[in-house]
Chains A and B, each alone.
Chain A
Amino acid sequence: MFDLEEAIRQWRKTLLKNEALEDGYIAELESHLRDEIEHQISLGLTDQKAFEKATEGLGQADILGTEFYKSHIGRPPWKPSRFMPDLIWNYFKIALRKMKRQKGYSFINIVGLAIGMACVFIILLWTQDELSYDRFHSNAKEIYRVLLNPEGTDIYSSYNSGPMGPALKADYPEIINFTRIFGYATGPLKYKNQVLNGKVCGVDNSFFEMFTFPFIKGDSKNCLSEPRSIVLTEKMAARLFHEENPLGKTVGFEWWGTWYDLKVTGVIQDVPSNTHIRFDYLLPFEFVTWSGMTIEDWDVSAYQTYVLLPKNADSSAVQEKIAGTVTRHFPEFPCTLHLEPLTRIHLYNFTGGGPINYVYIFSIIGILILCIACINFMNLSTARSMERAREVGMRKIVGSTRAQLVKQFLGESIFLSFISFILALILVQALLPSVNNIVGKRLSLPYSGSPLFIFLGMAILTGILSGSYPAIFLSSFRPLTVLQGHAISGSQNICLRKLLVIGQFVISIALITGTIIIYQQLVYMRNTDMGINKSHVINMELRGGLRNQYGTIKNELLRNPGILAVCATNGSFSKRFGTDKIGWKGKPEDKRIFMSIHAVDFDYQKIFDIKMAQGRYFSRDYPTDISDGIIVNETAAKIMGMESPVGQRISCWIPYDPQRSGTIIGVAKDFHFRSLREKIDPLVLVIAPGWFTDVYIRMKPENVPETLAFVEKTIKEFAPDFPFEYSFLDEDIDNLYKTEQRIGRLVRYGTFLAIFIACLGLFGLASFTAEKRTKEIGIRKVLGASVSGIVLLLTKEFTKWVMVANLIAWPIAYFVMSQWLQNFAYHVNIGIGTFLLSAALALVIALITVSFQAVKTAASNPADSLRYE
């Protein structure tokens, strides 16, 4: 039987569920319902039907409720507001008070986060710079560099022959434009009495049609179509001309001993740092012919060629089409052409890999550091949760909802992360100069624009991420439990915490090991016996007239007793020539064997202290040595397969005398004439004065500055126009390992950072466990445990974790570092001592961190911790 009153009561109950509907509202709705029911009954419906119809007309409770909300009547008075401005001030005060009360913790928290953020910011700036390479050209996406792959090799060379570019443009409509670049050589410019060295490039006039290098003065059209024209960068122009207007002026340019007068036809903005095309001034491409070099020969590969494709062109289709161009024009050279996108040149090796890997690695490291910093922040905050438990309890009792508390704690951590953010910005600003020094870039902190917003967004995200767990954890406390003084159980998290701390120590230990090995390798490279005497030797280029007057200069220099030997050669230590055109009896026909050639004179032995294994060195007593004498090193003798090399005849290619042949008069003991990354190459020494480009001078160790002054004076006499530039051989050799030194420094800083952050994590964990075990320690002390015993008890566990971390880190470090050492033909071996050392270091650092907290806990008065039981 349908009971109308009962049905209405039930209906009222369903309305009560919706918080928007107040009692008054419900009474009004009920009155309406009753009226409607009466009306329906009067129309002849049964009670039940009338009730159903009436309730249907009124609508569901939740829909009614939202209607009430929607009409902005507002929130029922008993509901706490979503946003209470009065409380914000209170939250702020509490946050500041907490910071003040726990200076140490706040400091660690904020600084830890700030360091993490600073690190990420720097990585972000660096990544952004790396990714921006060569993208500033408006045609960047359509420009490709042509690579040449000789058949049967895996070499992809960017150096091509002169006629290739014009041929490509003529043969294929897809190649809209091309430009060739020759150079990246150093050449002097003269204006009035001033001579400056600068990096020169010879380019086709189309260079400016393809690349975007804005002109300050002059016009990009035809500025290099005159054979004797020059375009300067802003900086070069300012250095040469100071206040004068350079346009139309004539500057001198020296190339292979001759001065040329060139007219300045344009000044362009300085080349930005994020490009692989770097120069100080540009000449017409044809300048290369001034030295007798040809640009018409398909067999001379010395020029880089860039081509422009139409927008949205399918580069792989074009590449397929042009692949055989060179071989078609010049059948003697079987090879294929490939297109390398301009924007990939800096970061990608054509055959795979390349510096992009560093971008990935550093990005991952950045994210890891930020995560670890966040996790530590969480750990420290939750570890201190006991202190806030009562606050949470009180707040809940006086009416805080959980959502409100979550907001409070989140707000607090965002506030902290914002302080860290500002600190991080200051840190980045302070660190950037030295970072720039290490990475060789010009990074700067942007004070406007999107990167700053990205940073700000990251700071807020960090705040939310690192605050979310503590916020949820803290707000979950039951007021009754915490106010009764019961400890909060957080045991399910302790395992996670342990894992995190172990993970951080794995990273730290691996990095410590890496640092030690890199350091060992650097020391090894510096101290290893290269088979030469590298101290007190200077190297300088033979410029201008110096080459022609070398004999006189040498005699002049040797008159000073401080100078032991002078010897000219065909390159500096880092710049050496190799050729496959050395011939000997029994040379395999099908293999290309490269050998290094040093053009030397009689005193090369004195400079490098070369020891002979067989035969003799060049000697003035044998006049035929000049044209017929050849010395090879042991490696070369082995490769040529000669049992008694002395006396054998071989042919030796020399640029101005390709048919040169001679008799081997001696075999030199192997010595390193390149970096230790490379194996000792087969080497041929030959006397070839026409090939001299550099000179080495060996000085007595005493009075080096005076000897240097003498050298400068003498050189100036012969070449008054040139800046006197020289370098010490040992420094040159050190410079070969710049990258390694750079990596070494980066890894070292990374290690400090990782250790610091890991210690933070450990500290958080230590204080958390100490907090949890306060009562246990109190009881132990009451029962007679000593302070030292308790410290031991507390530290023992941490020692165990660090040991576990060691076991994980060792194989990782071993694997990565042995990969790295593979870069060096001559390297140290990874010994067990390295691992023990890093383990010991990590352990000591960990113990120092932990014992601080352990001692504090152990020394506390048991009465304090047990009082409340």
Chain B
Amino acid sequence: MISKALVAASTKPMILSILLSGENYGYQIIQKAKELSGGTLEWSDGMLYPVLHRLEKDEFIQSQWRISEGGRLRKYYKLTDSGREELETEKKQWLIVHEAFSKLWKPLPAFD
């Protein structure tokens, strides 16, 4: 299980990254996140939507209502240019953290 604080911190880059591969709607985004993390990254479903709306308000993503084949209303989200930029900065930060940890956790070399 991933801790609550980490889930909260990673929600934004996770959503933006998922949207990088093309527009998508809420349910699918959640499914994808679960799938990618092998079920360890658990969002409470309701929590995602406020974050999506927030991101839309900040103009990182755009939304559009569409009717799916089954006649169901779905709201699709799409990454904007500023969303991409935002993702780049996020990515950099995560990579720095990642790099730091990988250096720290590299198996120590035996006596030379």
B50 touches A31 (CB 8 A): no
Question: What residues of chain B lie closer than 8 Å to A709, measured between beta carbons?
Answer: none
B50 touches A32 (CB 8 A): no
How many A residues face the partner with a CB closer than 8 A? 22
Stretch at the interface among A22-30, A458-466, A698-706, A746-754: A22-30
B57 touches A31 (CB 8 A): no
A63 touches B27 (CB 8 A): no
**Minimal Cβ-Cβ distance residue in B for A72:** B54
Tell me if A192 counts as interface (CB < 8 A to partner B). no
B46 touches A28 (CB 8 A): no
Given A31-B72, A31-B74, A35-B27, verify A59-B54 contact (CB < 8 Å).
no
B49 touches A29 (CB 8 A): yes
A57 to B26, CA, bound (A): 14
- A64 touches which of B25, B27, B46, B57 (Cβ 8 Å): B46
Q: Interface centre among A28, A29, A63, A64, by most B CB within 10 Å?
A: A28
Question: What residues of chain A lie closer than 8 Å to B46, measured between beta carbons?
Answer: 29, 57-59, 63-64, 67
Given A34-B72, A36-B45, verify A71-B25 contact (CB < 8 Å).
no
Tell me if B75 counts as interface (CB < 8 A to partner A). yes
Question: What residues of chain A lie closer than 8 Å to B54, measured between beta carbons?
Answer: 71-73
Tell me if B95 counts as interface (CB < 8 A to partner A). no
**Minimal Cβ-Cβ distance residue in A for B25:** A31
Tell me if B2 counts as interface (CB < 8 A to partner A). no
Tell me if B104 counts as interface (CB < 8 A to partner A). no
- A28 touches which of B47, B57, B75 (Cβ 8 Å): B75
Question: What residues of chain B lie closer than 8 Å to A29, measured between beta carbons?
Answer: 46, 49
B44 touches A70 (CB 8 A): no
Chain A nearest CB: distance from B11 CB in Å?
10
B53 touches A27 (CB 8 A): no
B44 touches A57 (CB 8 A): yes
Question: What residues of chain A lie closer than 8 Å to B49, measured between beta carbons?
Answer: 25, 28-29, 32, 64, 67-68
Tell me if B108 counts as interface (CB < 8 A to partner A). no
A59 touches B26 (CB 8 A): no
A59 touches B44 (CB 8 A): yes
B50 touches A68 (CB 8 A): yes
Question: What residues of chain A lie closer than 8 Å to B74, measured between beta carbons?
Answer: 31
A24 to B45, CA, bound (A): 17
Question: What residues of chain B lie closer than 8 Å to A32, measured between beta carbons?
Answer: 26-27, 45, 49
Tell me if B73 counts as interface (CB < 8 A to partner A). yes
Chain B nearest CB: distance from A393 CB in Å?
37
Task: Enumerate A51-84 residues with CB–CB distance to B below 8 Å.
Answer: 57-59, 63-64, 67-68, 70-74
B51 touches A71 (CB 8 A): yes
Chain A nearest CB: distance from B67 CB in Å?
10
- A27 touches which of B27, B45, B47, B73 (Cβ 8 Å): B73
Question: What residues of chain B lie closer than 8 Å to A70, measured between beta carbons?
Answer: 50
Known A29-B49, A32-B45, A36-B45; further 15 A-B contacts with Cβ < 8 A: A31-B25, A31-B73, A31-B74, A32-B27, A34-B72, A36-B27, A59-B46, A67-B46, A67-B49, A68-B53, A71-B51, A71-B54, A72-B54, A73-B53, A73-B54
The chain A residues found within 8 Å of chain B, CB to CB, are 24-25, 27-29, 31-32, 34-36, 57-59, 63-64, 67-68, 70-74
